[in-house]
């Protein structure tokens, strides 16, 4: 049975834009609370959580070994995961260690975090030939991705031009776009990995609690306000064409109505999936 109170950690790999949002811990807190709200609406006893933030860039601070977290999230960053910087190298080493030593801690990578986990698993992160993906973008899901997210495709906010070109060894692809072939992957718990026959089927039967690691290249925690602020601050970096196009999708894909009234699947799909992996039905 899942606990009623979860202890989670977020490794803060930068500060979000705009600065008034505070830390990534605060942004993730709001996102996870929103994702949990609909789940709690159908529960007699509500699930609660605490989220501890660790600045791994400036303070190089990490969760103490004597605290057992149910889940650890690695945030996005404007830095490149392949850079040879002390804080990035430490982050890769820490990620590698918790994967090996804390099998009961679920690990989630968001954008830069998706890339860092790939490096920790022996994979690579590279520039994507200068091709940006910015604002709400539709990801075509694999059969496994459809089973895990419960959708045919996934609409997520994006801000990246680096990518993980191939899925790390032992992991399974969740989805792709024409620009980015690897938009996320999962690794299963070694004790409950689905059979190869199930994983290769057109409709895999997956228990979310069997997932040890889940990553997405997109930003499920980003709101339209955040994306517009990013566009304002980095317009010169993106270039006029990318910025203009992204502004048309920052509030959602034009003409694509959503039953939950949200601009993308960050809260209602990815956020709820994360709670499902943690064991909250």
27 is a domain residue: yes
Give the range of the structural domain holding residue 77, as residue numbers without chain letter: 5-127+160-221+266-277
Does residue 2 register a pLDDT over 80? no
pLDDT > 90: percent of the chain: 87
233 is a domain residue: no
140 is a domain residue: no
The pLDDT assigned to 18 comes to 85
| Residue found under tokens 């590279």 | 126
96 is a domain residue: yes
Residue 197 binned pLDDT confidence (cut-offs 50, 70, 90): confident
Instruction: Pull the structure tokens for residue 232.
Output: 């304002």
If one compares 100 and 201, the residue with the highest pLDDT of the two is 100
The domain that holds 78 is classified in CATH as 3.40.50.880
Domain count, the chain: 1
144 is a domain residue: no
136 is a domain residue: no
What does pTM read for this prediction?
A: 0.96
């Amino acid at each position: 049975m899942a606990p009623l109170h979860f202890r989670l950690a977020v490794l803060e790999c930068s500060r979000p834009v705009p600065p008034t949002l505070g830390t990534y811990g605060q942004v993730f807190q709001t996102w996870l609370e929103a994702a949990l709200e609909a789940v709690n609406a159908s529960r007699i006893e509500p699930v609660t959580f605490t989220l501890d933030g660790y600045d791994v860039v400036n303070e190089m601070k990490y969760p103490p070994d004597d605290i057992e977290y149910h889940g650890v999230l690695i945030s996005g960053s404007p830095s490149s995961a392949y850079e040879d910087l002390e804080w990035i190298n430490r982050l890769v080493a820490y990620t590698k260690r918790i994967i090996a030593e804390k099998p009961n801690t679920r690990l989630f990578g968001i954008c830069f975090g998706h890339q860092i986990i790939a490096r920790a698993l022996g994979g690579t992160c590279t520039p994507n030939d200068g091709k940006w993906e910015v604002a709400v973008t539709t990801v075509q899901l694999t059969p496994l991705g459809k089973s895990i997210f419960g959708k045919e495709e996934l609409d997520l906010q994006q801000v990246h031009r680096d990518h993980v070109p191939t899925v790390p060894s032992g992991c399974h692809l969740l989805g792709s776009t024409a620009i980015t072939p690897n938009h996320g992957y999962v690794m299963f718990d070694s004790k409950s990995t689905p059979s190869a026959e199930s994983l290769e089927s057109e409709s895999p039967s997956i228990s979310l609690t069997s997932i040890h690691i889940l990553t997405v290249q997109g930003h499920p925690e980003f709101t339209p306000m955040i994306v517009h602020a990013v566009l304002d601050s980095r317009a010169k970096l993106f270039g006029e064409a990318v910025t203009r196009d992204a502004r048309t999708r920052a509030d959602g894909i034009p003409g694509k109505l959503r039953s939950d009234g949200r601009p993308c699947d960050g809260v209602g799909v990815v956020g709820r999936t994360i709670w499902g992996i943690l064991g909250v039905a």
